[in-house]
Structure 1
């Protein structure tokens, strides 16, 4: 019986380990692996009759948000609900798979130090792959698949479209901080120099990729790391200043990146209301205003955005009518919170915001008292994903949603183990680290 339980858990860990790899190139494979983890986790919960994990505050809020999405997506014309039909309801129904995946990782699959170390190593390998392919494309002009830089100047890294920036920025500190911390334990000049080089190259990559929002989110992550992790505080501040000074140098080093980050950004900020993002956000706000209580169901922006009744703009804010020709409609509104509002009204948006806050509270517990690099990296990854002032992908759609719940699951597992099996402990008095896992 013990061997059977171990085999089931090992199978779940094997499935979990392939999720990050599949998120790079095989979304269907990632969905299948997530499903395997969920099924095995439910089977184990039934066997043990243990449902304590379902009482976690963040999970309870997640269930309420999910229920709101289901209700607003249910095709009940008499109540004005679910205008998009059963397709929207089905898409809302499967949202639960991601919540269960995160809690499975956090409470069962990654409940040992070796499992967490292996899972982190796979995530770090994915980040290293994006890093290497971005620099290959920058230096040689093509990535391993022969793909060139995107026409707007952004690097595509190991992909065929400009998708490198978001996952790279979200995973950056989770991948780097444990390595930098381990190098700093050695106290030698070479180790400290290596830590500095890793930090500079890691952050510089977010700059040369040339995608605005990922670079800004990497800057947010750097600020949080400097605030919460004292050993790198001064170097991180210096790196931030250096990055700001380096932006003008991009004109010489990588003019396409400079044009994307500086020239195009300046133009869009100066005319934001009429920019594609401004049009999308205005359109989403108008849609929420027209149906503030129940929205339009999951993916409502995709199904109803093009209707002329949403052309009006926001006159009270001095924002004129939107236009499809200027990009007012897309498959999603490029902001998670606006998407939640379009899907399930103001209540749905509030629940989604509460869910994100609950995630951060759960991951941040005790971090201010004891800085653990891997935990801090996971916290920063989820924070940059949950940050409301950002252009985003479609929430709950892989691959980006997969990265969120991968980081969340690992972070929850680290929180659970922080007292008994800390991945990294830092003593400010003794200036010593204790590493467990891939660097021990």
Structure 2
């Protein structure tokens, strides 16, 4: 009994430590971050075996998530190289996807069950967001980040990286950081002073996302701010003012940072004007063709990466028209279809897509619990704003009309699962307190 307690304590505290430092390795050294996620997932399973705690499996979103994962594995079971590639490695990857689901549950039920650990993690996430922001500002002002890397050749601010992959994770983690900072400013400085400082905070973060020069992260970040105003009523007018001023900031960018303006506006206009023949349009059509031709079981895990170049899918839209063209041939093929719903469709067919949608809806419902609570103190207001930011980050990440990376790709996938698990931990804590309060009144 003593040995079991000692082992369970070791598993718990090392997992807490791994979670607290995880944002650092999601910012740099994503391979280590993946290892930490796997470690926490394994520790959680061992802890549950020791303690015989399996109540978490009764949650609706957990049951749906494991149903989706199980169906994905079934669809990936190798029956031979029917599609011109060896799927055995994909089966192992499909099975390994379970580590992300267990990681999220472990944060909700175990690692972040105490508020002090959630606060520590929030501080580390905030530091990482500021670090990325400062690197972007450094590139904007002197042309190089802290590591000596210049802006990307197309003008994109790459932050602390060589390639433009900073804006996507920043658009997610910046939502809880910005919203909680706004809540703090409104309580710290009363009246018009607080309103003014809060507006400056919103305008600064929006300006940074504009100067980053990446269209989708910018659009999703602004969308996330709008989603947040559903619960943060005190920010509605300020968010509206920010939305009005945003086009002006974009116009100023044309003179301050013309490369960012061209990438954000000029390229976007050209791409939308010719979307069907653009790289994104061709990729989406190819994914739809692959899914429609394999509607019930899909093509297994990571199907787009391995089957996109198969000539039987070389069709334009509509794919049944023999004169629709070859859809761009093999040259358009990438490692993923840039949309999670298309990915779920071609990996596991219509059942997999429906299960994936149900998982997204169920976790959003779970995350929303407790967001209507009325904050009466500064700390409560900051925490509520942080939780709303976590909801908004998850919401925009799974917004169906967006382009994004592979669902479990690191580091963006790691950021998503971390923010999701943290948000679920807050909502679970809120529900637990409600249940305890109800018991006391009985």
TM-score for the superposition, normalised by structure 1: 0.90
Partner residue in 1 for 2:31: 28
Answer yes or no: is the 8 Å Cα contact 1:228–1:367 preserved in 2. Answer: yes
Aligned length: 420
Give the whole-Å Cα distance in 2 for the aligned partners of 1:394 and 1:416. 28
**8 Å Cα contact 2:299-2:346 kept in structure 1:** yes
Distance 1:47 1:81, change over 3 A: farther
Aligned partner of 1:388 in structure 2 is: 400
**Which residue of structure 1 lines up, in the alignment, with residue 100 of structure 2?**
98
Tell me, what secondary structure is at the counterpart of 1:35?
Answer: helix
Alignment of 1:212-227 (within 5 A): 212-227=215-230
1:142 and 2:154 are equivalent in the alignment: no
How far apart, in 2, do the equivalents of 1:84 and 1:142 lie?
A: 43
Q: Hey, what does 1:263 align to over in structure 2?
A: 266
Match of 2:366 among 340, 362, 371: 362
User: How far apart, CA to CA, are the structure 2 residues paired with 1:232 and 1:420?
Assistant: 29
1:68 Cα deviation from its structure 2 partner: 1.1
TM-superposed CA distance for 1:88, in Å, is 0.9
Query: Partners of 2:347 and 2:84 in 1: how far apart?
Result: 10
Match of 1:199 in 2: 202
Aligned mates of 1:247, 1:320 — CA distance in 2: 38
Q: Which runs of 5+ in 1 are unaligned?
A: 423-440
- Residue aligning to 1:112: 114
Task: State the Cα deviation string for residues 279-323 of structure 1 (Å, max 9, x = none).
Answer: 100111111111111111111111111111111112279965311
Cα deviation, 1:110-145, whole Å, max 9, x if unaligned, reads 111110000111111111111111111111111112
Separation (CA, whole Å) in 1 of partners of 2:420 and 2:214 = 24
Contact 1:305–1:329 under 8 Å retained in 2: yes
> What RMSD over aligned residues (CA atoms) do the two structures have, in Å?
2.2
* Distance change in 2, residues 1:146/1:421 (3 Å): farther
Looking at structure 2, the residues matched to 19 and 199 of structure 1 have their Cα atoms a distance apart, in angstroms, of: 27
1:311–1:321 contact (8 Å) kept in structure 2: yes
Contact 1:64 1:351 in 2 (8 A): yes
Q: CA deviation at 1:10?
A: 1.8
Deviation track 1:127-178 (CA, whole Å, cap 9, x = no partner) reads: 1111111111111111112211112221101111000111011111111222
Question: What residue in structure 2 maps to residue 306 of structure 1?
Answer: 309
Distance change >3 Å, CA 12–CA 102, structure 1 → 2: same
Q: Secondary structure at the match of 2:230?
A: helix
Partner of 1:351: 355
Which TM-score applies when normalising by structure 2?
0.90
Where does residue 158 of structure 1 map in the other structure? 160
Q: Which segments of 5 or more consecutive residues in structure 2 lack a partner in the other structure?
A: 376-383, 435-442
Aligned match of 2:176: 174
Corresponding residue for 1:438?
none
Further displaced range: 192-201 or 258-267: 192-201
Counterpart Cα distance in 1 of 2:293 and 2:366: 35
Shift of residue 196 of structure 1?
2.9
1:14 aligns with 2:26: no
Determine helix, strand or coil for the equivalent of 1:159: coil
For residues 320 and 171 of structure 2, the distance between their equivalents in structure 1, rounded to whole angstroms, comes to 33
Alignment match, 1:433: none
> Aligned partners of 2:167, 2:12: CA distance in 1, in Å?
33
